[in-house]
């Protein structure tokens, strides 16, 4: 099973489609409903802001409930602003930290559950994590 944060568009939705074509079960976590993704027996969608801990918890819960495990985590959610840093507002900075830092933490930390579900983690905001050999899974989220 794969869990993909940032599944709402771009790379995230492309990864969801690619994993589905390869036979993976997928949980996608787009910020809002999209016309490109439709829930199916192999695709669960959890809408919400990955920078909110409850969204990440719902995504992990959906993966475990519907597919039994998370074998791969693609933490693809991220935002940026195209303007000089001297023009950043507190609201801008809070949004960046919420999605790019807390979103990463909230979706990654549950992967370190008990020994039977622990993942090996590749460091970095855009990370790919793999669990036990022979399992399939995915998580994605995007802004």
At 105-136, the pLDDT tens digits run 998 888 776 544 444 333 333 333 333 334 44
Q: What is the pLDDT of residue 134?
A: 40
pLDDT at 49 (0 to 100): 92
Pairing of strands 2-5, 26-29: parallel
What is the helix (H) or strand (E) element at residue 108, kind and residue range? helix 103-108
Domain ranges of the chain: 2-140
Residue with tokens 């990864």: 15
* Residues in the chain, overall count: 143
**pLDDT of amino acid 73:** 85
CA distances from 10 to 13, 76, 88, 106, 141 (A): 6, 10, 25, 22, 10
Question: Is the domain 2-140 a CATH 3.40.50.720 member?
Answer: yes
Task: Report, as ranges of residue numbers, the positions in the chain whose pLDDT lies below 70.
Answer: 1-9, 113-143
């Amino acid at each position: 099973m794969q869990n993909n944060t940032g599944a709402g568009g771009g790379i995230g939705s492309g990864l969801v489609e690619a994993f589905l074509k390869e036979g993976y079960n997928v949980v996608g976590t787009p910020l809002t409903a999209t016309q490109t993704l439709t829930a199916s027996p192999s695709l669960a969608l959890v809408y919400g802001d990955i920078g909110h801990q409850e969204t990440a918890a719902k995504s992990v819960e959906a993966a475990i409930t519907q597919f039994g495990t998370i074998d791969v985590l693609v933490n693809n959610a991220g935002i940026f602003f195209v303007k000089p840093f001297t023009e950043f507002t507190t609201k801008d900075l809070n949004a960046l930290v919420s999605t790019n830092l807390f979103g990463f933490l909230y979706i990654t930390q549950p992967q370190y559950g008990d020994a039977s579900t622990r993942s090996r983690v590749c460091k970095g905001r855009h990370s790919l994590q793999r669990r036990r050999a022979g399992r399939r899974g995915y998580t994605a989220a995007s802004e």
